[in-house]
Amino acid sequence: MDKKKAVKLATASAVAASAFVAANPHASQAATDVATVVSQAKAQMKQAYYTYSHTVTETGKLPNISDVYAAYNKAKQAYANAVAVVNKAGGAKKDAYLADLQATYETYVFKANPKSGEARVATYIDAYNYAVKLDGLRQDLAKAVEAKDLKKAEELYHKISYELRTRTVILDRVYGQTTRELLRSQFKAEAQKLRDSLIYDITVAMKAREAQDAVKAGNLDKAKAALDQVNQYVSKVTDAFKAELQKAAQDANAAYEAALPFKVESVAVVNAKQIEIKLNKAVDTSTASNKNNYKVQKSSDSSATALATLDGSADISISDDGKTVTITTTNGIISQFSVANDAPFKFIVENLKDKYGKTLDSYSTNLVVKDTVAPTLKDVKATAKSTTTRVTLVFSEPVQTNGAIAYVGGQAASVQPGSNVNEVILTTAQALEAGKTYDLTLLNFKDYANNFLQPNPTTKSFTVSSDAVAPTVQDVKVVRDNLIEVTFDKAMDASTFAGYTRVLDLNGNPQGGVITATIKSGTAGKTVRLALGSAVPFNDSGVFSGTLVLGNGIKDVNGNAKSATTHSITLTKDTARPTVAGASYVAAGGQYAGNTYTNGAIVLKFNEDVAKIGSDFRLITAGGEDFTSRLNAGGAAVNNGDNTEVIIPLNSSLSAGTYTLRVGNDVVKDLSTQENRNAAAVTTFTVGASSDSSKPVVNETSVSAVAATNQTSGTTISLTMTDNVGLDLATVQDVNNYLLNGKPLPSGSYVTIAHNGGSSSSAATNITVTLNIPAKSITKDDTYALNINNIKDKAGNIADPKVANVRLKDDVSPELKTATISSNGLLVLGFSESVNQVGASTPSDFQFVINGVEVATTYNANIVQFDNGTGTDAGKYVVTFKAKVDKGADNNEATTADNRLYLDVNGNNAFDSGDILVQTGTTRAVGDATLDVNLLSALKVKVVNNAAVKDQSTLQNPIQVGTTITVK
């Protein structure tokens, strides 16, 4: 019992006692037998306990809780009454009576914080109430399961788990083992049983979510750990949530697989004919079937060669789970790849995509064909009801049939490859009888490393197995309203169904016309497709119910006839149009459905089997360009191996990118009796980087420049680039891939592209590239070396680096850069480049601030003289400051202490307020003097607006105005 409930019960007892005293204030103590009252109260308290304990032991059932509450309340009242009587009576036994009453009360009725065996009734009531609450949760969980409400079930599962883990100790405190066990079995055990039955369901639900969250967070290790539990337990979930949890598991696994980097796990030579590539997830079949995505490079080769070139007829098969690609060469690896036995060669896998569109990083490994072991004959099989002419040889590895000789029963037999690479089929001229034994002789059978079967010749006896067992029907499935599939337990002879297959209506009348039987591919001959020759009569609801009759003339491949059987069937009229389910791309040179597509193809997928009746297709690039001319729409055809696909060959290959295929109305019709036609639809598909190994070409001879014509025109350089499939325009437009005299293009340069002769943004096969260099960027008239590097095509091939010379013109203004004092005290002005010679207006192009006095440029001729620099000062201006020395204030030349050295700004040959005093007291001769600039306290020089200074370039760019330099 928790502390809060204990306090409530104690308070209730105290109130009851107070009420008794208040109700009996004048009771005659003398008339009261205290001992009797105490005894009766104790008996009532024990009776409260017996109310539940005796009921359990006598009936094996829990008592009505109302009876327990009633006895509990009587016991509390009796205790309160007795305590009041004892307190009223007093006397020597008062304390003993009170102690006895309290001990009995705390043992049987109530006590705060009771120990084991105490407060039995209160503890039972608490336990019972808790058990009822727990059972309520159990019932709610059962309802959630029945309603298939997984979210609610998971919530209640956790609540019950918490109760079982932390609260059911309440049941363990109940006094009396029988009562405890009954409470446990009736409530706790049932709740635990239901909870435990869902442990796998809830674990899968939680871990599937955990895996999804981990994938989103990029924690694939955590996702994998969660998925390991999902995959371990999903097969054990209950039927109630099986469908939902299987989908959750499937979605979580798919999310994890989609997030995994697509990679090759291993590449191995299986034998001298086959190479096996194992991947970590399912591969896109169109990229896996493309022979250009596998390359071989021998040590003597300068580059790798595609499988499409080495062995265009090689077979590429993909495992059912899509994770294993097997390449079976036509005439063996040694022959097709021109490699020697035991000689290593590089094998490259690239451009494969997983089924989610993620591209594999290029992978290469060294392989070697090291086969010195002779093939072995593993088995000889021949089966017949009576006779056969077919013998199947099973070898340990693929063997060559060219040059191989076989004798069966002493007579020559033809030798042909079997459907399995390790099998060879012998066809005999004689009829081999079931049950008879024949001698077999094999000569010159060898593997693709030219190891001969040992001994050579090899002889062996075999017995033709007798097959006299009739085939039986295992399944009948309606595929559409005019097609039924029947699966047998063995391979069937489709030709024997004619005349022995009928569809009857409920009145026994034949319907559906002549039925045609064909073997369904990929079923080992066991599944037969029965196509009705005409429509059955559907009722107003579009349903036909009838019987499929399979007669006793139907035989298996060994001639065993089945007994006649009938099967109930229901055909529903198909009124739904076929819909486009998607599209995929077969790369140029790729193989699909047994055909090689030189320029590639588009595989258009529908939701059901169709027949092609139109050619209204349009192909649009992501940039909106119409590429319909690249479709060989007239050559589009249904895939014979999968009638849900229409394969559209291409007239020219597609470069990497996303494309939209528009499918017009009435391009296909389904194969139902109604021949429903498709509605117009659009679908997209993605083309990955091509396996093209040809480098793009930068035509350096096409480089030409349009030099700047003034300071606003800018400079352009143009050149052409080509590629057989498509340039990577991002690399073309990356200005970092162009250098002028080994330096990056001037800041602000950009690249534009013009397409030539059918080139487009999605297939840039012939482009003119223009480098746009901003105005005022070329600093010198000169011939510049243009370097072009890192130009790629969409397959990642890099063009050879190219260099071309271009003649460019200086369009940058010269700038006053330095103003320094020479060793002889003159001012030397330096520029960013050579400028024009000093002219008459040159002094007025600069303004001087001397000792803080700004001199108007109109007075410059009075105080400065500009000369062209020579020697190390060539290209600079040398400025001589022209000063004067006067006789001083006393107008006495001999008294030199007041003679003044000054700049005669206004040119009036007299020192006055407009002049700049440099020095008072000088021994220099009176008259004109060259000023040592070092004598000035401050000097600044500034290029004035409209200065006439220009550089010596072709464009004679004017000097940048406004530049100010503080000399000192």
Is 465:427 a contact under the CB 8 Å cutoff?
no
Residue 26 has pLDDT above 50, yes or no: no
Taking the domain 697-808, which CATH number applies? 2.60.40.1220
Architecture of domain 264-368: Sandwich (2.60)
Reported as a single tens digit per residue, the pLDDT across 668-709 is: 999 999 999 999 999 988 776 555 567 899 999 999 999 999
The reported pLDDT for the residue numbered 694 is: 73
Residue 831 has pLDDT above 60, yes or no: yes
The reported pLDDT for the residue numbered 9 is: 39
Reported as a single tens digit per residue, the pLDDT across 586-609 is: 878 777 777 888 888 998 989 899
For range 491-517, the mean pLDDT: 96
Taking the domain 473-572, which CATH number applies? 2.60.40.1220
Reported as a single tens digit per residue, the pLDDT across 209-240 is: 999 999 999 899 999 999 999 999 999 999 98
Taking the domain 377-466, which CATH number applies? 2.60.40.1220
Residue 8 has pLDDT above 60, yes or no: no
Residue 338 has pLDDT above 80, yes or no: yes
The reported pLDDT for the residue numbered 692 is: 58
The reported pLDDT for the residue numbered 591 is: 72
The reported pLDDT for the residue numbered 428 is: 96
Q: Which fold has domain 202-259?
A: Methane Monooxygenase Hydroxylase; Chain G, domain 1 (1.20.58)
Which residues, in sequence order, are CB contacts of 194 under 8 Å at separation 6+? 138, 141, 142, 145, 160
- Longest Cα–Cα distance of the chain, Å, equals 155
The reported pLDDT for the residue numbered 133 is: 86
**Range with the poorest average pLDDT among 525-539, 619-633, 707-721, 845-859:** 619-633
SS3 960: coil
The domain 580-687 having CATH identifier 2.60.40.1220: the answer here is: yes
The reported pLDDT for the residue numbered 490 is: 92
For range 465-478, the mean pLDDT: 94
What residue segments make up the domains of the chain, in order of their start? 3-126, 202-259, 264-368, 377-466, 473-572, 580-687, 697-808, 816-966
Q: In what order do the strands lie in the sheet with 543-550?
A: 510-511, 501-505, 543-550, 565-572
For range 897-920, the mean pLDDT: 92
Residue 1 has pLDDT above 50, yes or no: no
What percentage of residues in the chain have a pLDDT greater than 70? 96
Reported as a single tens digit per residue, the pLDDT across 137-182 is: 888 999 999 999 999 999 999 988 887 777 777 777 788 888 888 7
Supply the DSSP string of 927-947, one letter for each residue: EEEEE-GGG-S-EEEEEPTT-
Residue 522 has pLDDT above 80, yes or no: no
Residue 2 has pLDDT above 50, yes or no: no
Task: Please state, as a whole number, how many other Cβ atoms lie within 10 Å of the Cβ of residue 781.
Answer: 16
The reported pLDDT for the residue numbered 32 is: 52
The reported pLDDT for the residue numbered 684 is: 86
Q: Which fold has domain 3-126?
A: Methane Monooxygenase Hydroxylase; Chain G, domain 1 (1.20.58)
Contacts 24+ apart (CB under 8 A), 372-380: 372/341, 372/449, 372/451, 373/451, 374/447, 374/451, 374/452, 374/453, 374/454, 375/399, 375/445, 375/446, 375/447, 375/451, 375/453, 376/453, 377/442, 377/453, 377/458, 377/460, 378/422, 380/440, 380/460, 380/462
Reported as a single tens digit per residue, the pLDDT across 759-769 is: 888 788 899 99
Mean pLDDT of the chain: 89
Residue 10 has pLDDT above 50, yes or no: no
Of the pLDDT bands very low, low, confident and very high (cuts 50, 70, 90), residue 128 is confident
- Which span out of 32-36, 795-799, 807-811, 870-874 was modeled with the highest average pLDDT? 807-811
Of the pLDDT bands very low, low, confident and very high (cuts 50, 70, 90), residue 548 is very high
Q: Do 3-126 and 202-259 show the same overall fold?
A: yes
The reported pLDDT for the residue numbered 379 is: 96
